[in-house]
Amino acid sequence: MNGLINLYKPTSMSSARAVSAVKRILGEKRVGHMGTLDPMAEGVLIIGVGKSARLFDYMTNRRKSYIAKFKFGYSTDTLDALGTVTGTTRDIPSIDAVLGAMNSLVGEIEQIPPEYSAKHVAGRRAYDMARGGEAVELKPCKVQVYGIELICQPSMEEAVFSIECSSGTYIRSICRDVAKMCGSLATLTYLQRTSSGCFSVRDSITLDALELRREQALISAEVALADMPVIELADELYDDLLHGRKIVCDFSGDNRVYCRGEFFGVGCSTDGKLNIKTYLKDE
């Protein structure tokens, strides 16, 4: 079994639990997600199955898009609706002030991740430290916000946005920082990931649907890596490639490697020789 699943993760389920559910349904041990989605959030969670679970580094560094609802007037320790309230305020900013603050974040920014996050601090998960009552100091990370658009304003205290950003961007942190810029407090009360790279929420499937479709729900790694350049090796190199013998070649960057029309995986050229970094060929 080898491929990817565009799973629609429901709310109140961790990404780890979603992976466990996929393992159970498919009866496959080699399963891993391609970028954590918070328990409160729903939407696109890419799951790698079999050899395709090795594609973590390629799948996580893709653009992502979200629909997010901010509620002004209070904050929580987790920065979302699942947390404990840590502060309240009557200072509710105007939508123009909120939009101004949001637009100022478009571009490359330095963002401090939430204390309740999967980031490592001295070898430990930040959320484990926070839950234990320990002080958590997280360093700012460079992220990219490509675009922000206001969808609607359900009430004076709420605003719903679509946000396109790089991997590693925390929407909870955007909510926190926008409120701070406006002299207020805010909490993320809804989050849906609508896309991750080439995978869209429109084509995602639920766990119930996966129970019915099983292997038929798998998407080939070739589809997921369609934007990666291709190198086609000469037919006579097939056996050398199959048995891991040295192949002289010189090209730049990561490429999808083919021989005799068969997909072998992701490779690069190291010191003038082929290096298959991620072997994906079905046996």
Q: Which residues are identified as catalytic?
A: 38
In this prediction, the residues of the chain whose per-residue pLDDT falls under 70 are 116-124, 126-130, 132-135
pLDDT for position 128: 64
Could you give the 3-state DSSP secondary structure of residue 128? helix
Q: Which secondary-structure segment (H or E) carries 40?
A: none
248 - beta bridge partners? 273
Tell me the whole-structure pTM to 2 decimals. Answer: 0.89
pLDDT for position 138: 76
pLDDT for position 249: 86
pLDDT for position 202: 95
Locate the DSSP E strands across 63-209: 64-72, 74-76, 85-88, 107-111, 120-121, 124-125, 141-155, 158-165, 186-196, 199-200
Query: What are the distances in angstroms from CA 106 to CA 164, 167, 196, 226?
Result: 9, 15, 19, 28
pLDDT for position 60: 79
Q: What phi, psi does 225 have (nearest 5°)? A: -105, 20
pLDDT digits (tens, 9 = 90+) for 65-118: 999 999 999 999 999 999 999 999 999 999 999 999 999 999 999 998 887 666
Q: What phi, psi does 120 have (nearest 5°)? A: -95, 135
196-210 in b/e form (b: 16+ CB < 10 A) is bbbbebeebeebeeb
